[in-house]
Structure 1
Amino acid sequence: MNKTLIRATPVAIAIAALSLYACGSDEVTRPDITSIQNVVVIYAENRSFDNLYGNFPGANGLQNVSAANSTQVDRNGAPLATLPHVWNGLTQTGVTPVVTEAMTANLPNSPFAIDDPKGFNTPISATTRDLYHRFYENQMQINGGKNDKFAAWADSGGLVMGHYSLNANTLPLWKIAQQYTLADNFFMGAFGGSFLNHQWLICSCTPVYPNADKSPAAGSVSALESDGVTLKVANNSPASALDGPPKYVLSGNLTPDFYAVNTMQPAYQPSGNKAAAGGDPKLADPSAATTLPAQTQRHIGDLLNDAKVSWAWYGGAWGAAVSAAQNGTTNVIYGANLSAPNFQPHHQPFNYFADLAPGTANRAQHLLDGGMAGAEFIKAIDAGTLPQVSFYKPQGNLNEHPGYTDVGSGDQHIADVIAHLQKSPQWNHMLVVVTYDENGGFWDHVAPPKADRWGPGSRIPALIVSPYAKRGYVDHTQYDTTSILRFITRRYSLPTLPGIAARDAALVSNGSKPMGDLTAALDIRQ
């Protein structure tokens, strides 16, 4: 061998160093994913991307909406002459301004601004009526990706096409999105509502009700057409969406093969179902049709426990709800009159699992009280004592859900929590993800990618807030709710949950890419 071929001269070393610099030597010094030591997930409620962020600069928003991709069709497929009335009105008595059903007649068949001063002039501080957000209805509204039957299969008429004209001066989180990363291609993990999407947030799985046909829930098995997606329409259902909301033979909580897809209650207190008379006060009445048997699937908490990674679910008003269940005063805490805190038991997904049953050490260690208005969660933030993975669920009046709260209160609350996080001793090594459980029935112009029978569903907002987040960035990477678990499992070298593997396989088989794991939003070494 000619040794001169491998001899390193000073000139050669200098050239190599310059070449390394030119090729991006900063890649060597940039932090990697292990620099993130705390992951915080904040889970709000029921807003599509277009509903809140349709006017966000640089995002795929309302500027890309046209008659071709927004015109709503009737139940028979014909374009609607106008949007249906907002059945029962846009807002209720006691809400300012009051917008009655009659005032919503003859709405053009197109998206509209709920807060338009020349229109309904209903700001984000006002509570609007609730909308359908159910498993089969969501799929029927998406209509194979056309997104053109939201009004046809809604119980709220034209309200599905409503959005807000917001900016950094009117929406607190908008300003934070401008400073960090906003994901504009992020979809809810499962079709439908809050119950199922909370399950997908923690386990990428759909709950099961074994032998449901022989159970108290036997009457809640949905009646479907042969396609397995479309609900059977009742004979007395209005033929046109202009004549009234649809009626179904049975839009239940269960699939025909006994998966729970619409709201069921946990078997453990706090639950929407009281304890059985004379029964264990820590349990929900198992004879109630909506009490779901305890679940046993693997969830992210199990994986974190196995890897000895600390974690907690902080439920807003959890402590008050537990006390209310023990004292029989749930009607006060659960918001029977829609007053604060309006605790929602089906928003507490870990409470459905047998390995977190009342009395277990697992429960005591990981299901923590977020406090009223997040006070206990904020104490942990300020003290720098958050575990490595934290989930925070704001209480009902602070979660942005239509029907019982407004956008403004919850958005400001989450912005305030982020301000505490930014001052936390743990902030320098933190990643915060703020997203919504589902679209709440609101239309969005972007069709979800086709994957498996469970989802993903409609597009929702997601913010990635961190010292490691790209600044002033709109991330167009394809994500869904399971992307949060993908990030956690990648960061802590955890096994892949079966639902995530199945989702990716389904996406690929349908000609799409697997979901991202949020790292594209970060300025880290990949």
Structure 2
Amino acid sequence: DFDGSPLSALPRPRWDDRFPRRLPNAPFRLEPYVDVDGHTMDPVHDFYLEQEQIDGGKMDRFVEASNAGALVMGYYDGSQLKQWALAKEFTLADHFFHAAFGGSMLNHFFLICGCAPVFDNPVESTKKKFDPKLDAIKDAKGAALVIRARQPDSPQSVLDGPPRHMNLAPLTKKLEAIGTLQPGNPVSKHDKTEAQERLPPSHLPTIGDRMSEKGVTWAWYAGGWRDVVEGRLKPYGEGKPDFFQTHHQPFAYFANYAPGQNGRNNLKDADEFYTAIDQGDLPQVSFYKPLGVFNGHPDYSDLAAGDAHVADVVARLRKSPNWADMLIIVTADENGGFWDH
């Protein structure tokens, strides 16, 4: 609990009457309450909150620091999933961990550049708006731990409600971008984010730059890319079930991949990925990011949809003329706010 004492029970996920009001304080199977094709709320997955949850390695504050109550202790039996069969046939990296604390945008940056972007020279209003309100505690090992500051009226126990934080600002005090921000060069004409609140284009080197320098052919394929760029699909859920997240497109945040730059030619639509698969015309390195509805993310997707999509893509790759020379890596971008992954 907030005071460090063990919880007598786990609180029900917010607004979800499929769960009982209290559950035993232990990991539990989700299927009795919501099946693999059902939707749950989105547990908070934040740079500072995840470090609080990990608690110096003791892994005992996932419920206390979450907005989702017991949900973060829930898990599914994966043995009937299609990726389980793929893991048995091929190789499972069971000691894999995501690269950066928190959510998708920062982990996508780490995927392509191993870096945290910096919001250079923000105007004063943006700096004030994005300034994180922080506090400090000791973790389970006695080391100093910086956490999100809570509001004065935040519940005294997670059994009375999730913590209420003063803000979830997307920057650190050093202006490192750790939360969701929109790129300085908008991907969609429908993106109405104020210019001063956009992350300035980064000039840091990426893996794409390095491959291009060495003459390695590559592409980043994304579901919905063409429709969003050409204005037929609005990002972030407008026009569901197609759900496109700009912050899942890391190259869009780099100056070398802005419209009109040579690097832009490496950013392609998923339809081009499928055509290249079928024709045996894949580049030497391909990244593929599906539409949100297929990525298995809590809330707007579900585990079954993501699992089926991965299996379908692998099945298509098996039939490709490129199959004999292919290495496939299936990875996740962050921990998702759940205790067990």
Q: TM-score range by the shorter chain?
A: over 0.9
State yes or no: 1:156 paired with 2:68: yes
What is the CA deviation profile of residues 18-54 of structure 1, one whole-angstrom value per residue up to 9, with x for unaligned ones? xxxxxxxxxxxxxxxxxxxxxxxxxxxxxxxxxxxxx
Q: Please state how far the C-alpha of 1:346 moved relative to its aligned partner.
A: 0.6
Q: Please state how far the C-alpha of 1:82 moved relative to its aligned partner.
A: 0.2
Q: Secondary structure at the match of 2:288?
A: strand
Q: Distance in 2 between matches of 1:266 and 1:200?
A: 16
Aligned partner of 2:221 in structure 1 is: 314
Q: Distance in 1 between matches of 2:307 and 2:245?
A: 18
State yes or no: 1:414 paired with 2:330: no
Q: Please state how far the C-alpha of 1:175 moved relative to its aligned partner.
A: 0.7
Q: Normalising to structure 2: TM-score of the pair?
A: 0.93
Q: Is the 8 A contact 1:194 1:437 kept in 2?
A: yes
Q: Is the 8 A contact 2:188 2:230 kept in 1?
A: no
Point out where structure 2 has 5 or more consecutive residues left out of the alignment.
137-143
Q: Normalising to structure 1: TM-score of the pair?
A: 0.61
Point out where structure 1 has 5 or more consecutive residues left out of the alignment.
1-73, 90-98, 276-283, 445-458, 460-526
Q: Partner letter of residue 238 of structure 2?
A: A
Q: Distance in 1 between matches of 2:145 and 2:199?
A: 22
Q: Distance in 1 between matches of 2:45 and 2:194?
A: 26
Q: Please state how far the C-alpha of 1:228 moved relative to its aligned partner.
A: 6.0
Percent of residue pairs bearing the same amino acid type = 44
Q: Partner letter of residue 75 of structure 1?
A: F
Q: Distance in 1 between matches of 2:3 and 2:68?
A: 18
Q: Is the 8 A contact 2:189 2:229 kept in 1?
A: no
Aligned partner of 2:268 in structure 1 is: 368
State yes or no: 1:392 paired with 2:299: no
Q: How does 1:37-436 map to 2 (within 5 A)?
A: 74-89=1-16, 99-100=17-18, 103-115=19-31, 119-120=32-33, 122-167=34-79, 170-212=80-122, 214=124, 216-226=126-136, 227=144, 229-271=146-188, 274=191, 285-287=194-196, 289=197, 291-324=198-231, 330=234, 334-336=236-238, 339-364=240-265, 366-371=266-271, 376-436=272-332
Choose between structure 1 and 2 for higher RCO, CA contacts under 8 A separated by at least 6 residues. 1
What is the CA deviation profile of residues 425-449 of structure 1, one whole-angstrom value per residue up to 9, with x for unaligned ones? 11111110001111211112xxxxx
Q: Distance in 2 between matches of 1:217 and 1:240?
A: 32
Aligned length: 334
Q: Distance in 2 between matches of 1:254 and 1:273?
A: 24
Q: Please state how far the C-alpha of 1:273 moved relative to its aligned partner.
A: 6.9
Q: Secondary structure at the match of 1:230?
A: strand
Q: Partner letter of residue 126 of structure 2?
A: P
Q: Secondary structure at the match of 1:431?
A: coil
Using the TM superposition, name which of 223-232 and 399-408 deviates more.
223-232
Q: Secondary structure at the match of 2:238?
A: coil
Q: Secondary structure at the match of 1:216?
A: helix
Q: Partner letter of residue 299 of structure 1?
A: T
Q: Distance in 1 between matches of 2:227 and 2:101?
A: 31
CA 1:426–1:215: 2 relative to 1, 3 Å: farther
Q: Please state how far the C-alpha of 1:336 moved relative to its aligned partner.
A: 2.9
Q: Distance in 2 between matches of 1:316 and 1:175?
A: 25
Q: Is the 8 A contact 1:273 1:285 kept in 2?
A: no
Q: Distance in 2 between matches of 1:229 and 1:385?
A: 49
Aligned partner of 1:12 in structure 2 is: none
Q: Distance in 2 between matches of 1:367 and 1:250?
A: 34
CA 1:271–1:157: 2 relative to 1, 3 Å: farther
Q: Is the 8 A contact 1:130 1:402 kept in 2?
A: yes
Q: Partner letter of residue 67 of structure 2?
A: D
Q: Please state how far the C-alpha of 1:213 moved relative to its aligned partner.
A: 6.2
Q: Distance in 2 between matches of 1:272 and 1:412?
A: 32
Q: Is the 8 A contact 1:208 1:260 kept in 2?
A: yes
